[in-house]
Chains A and B, each alone.
Chain A
Amino acid sequence: DAGITQSPRHKVTETGTPVTLRCHQTENHRYMYWYRQDPGHGLRLIHYSYGVKDTDKGEVSDGYSVSRSKTEDFLLTLESATSSQTSVYFCATVDDRSSYNEQFFGPGTRLTVL
């Protein structure tokens, strides 16, 4: 457990509404990631951050944006939620100061878009 919390843990929203998911970490890890997990697709990278204000796209970034104004917080925003974005979202961090570069995952946020 790398001290990663995600909020909210569950959310139901309607198509077209904006949604922001928050990831908070207490380990001062430089790298942070947002994944989505869907049956039959495994974990797919949405966006990642390699430092404050430094972010880049993953393989499924369309419809999502991110921001990182502080080391400990990484926000994922769905500007206008669609039903295809119903999923479980996981945040992860990497401690690049260790030789193993293990990714630590948060508990996830279950998002339902009606």
Chain B
Amino acid sequence: QQQVKQSPQSLIVQKGGISIINCAYENTAFDYFPWYQQFPGKGPALLIAIRPDVSEKKEGRFTISFNKSAKQFSLHIMDSQPGDSATYFCAANSGGSNYKLTFGKGTLLTVNP
């Protein structure tokens, strides 16, 4: 049973455009929602994260939008750059779960120059 559903599987955006990746979750006990960025041949690295007490968090060109009632959250990359080309994973966990993360299946983002 997949607890975090991520879409789309792949995304192609032109340089300067907005990239949007969506995730939906089922477990209402989740209270921490990170996004990870992974470049080929590397391990994932934390990009940005949000807790459900806020509806939006912005760090530079990256924004998480969170809709608690819909159990959905999304990553927006403004002014997308070729260097943003990577695989992005959303994830979720609940604090009482030994910090275990449940990951979405990933989105391969390609930003064309």
Contact = CB atoms under 8 A, between A and B. Distances in A.
Contacts of A42: 6, 89, 103-106
Q: Per DSSP, are chain B's interface residues mostly helix, strand or loop, or mixed?
A: loop
B103 A103 contact: no
B89 A43 contact: yes
A9 B43 CA distance: 12
A108 B34 CA distance: 20
Contacts of A74: none
Interface stretch (A14-22, A60-68, A94-102): A94-102
B100 A105 contact: no
B29 to A, nearest CB: 15
A92 B44 CA distance: 9
Q: Per DSSP, are chain A's interface residues mostly helix, strand or loop, or mixed?
A: strand
Given A42-B104, A43-B89, A102-B34, A31 B99 contact: yes
Interface of B: 6, 32, 34, 36, 41-46, 49, 89, 95, 98-101, 103-106
A44 B100 CA distance: 10
B100 A48 contact: yes
A104 B46 CA distance: 8
B40 to A, nearest CB: 11
Contacts of A90: 43-44
Contacts of B99: 31, 94, 96, 101, 103
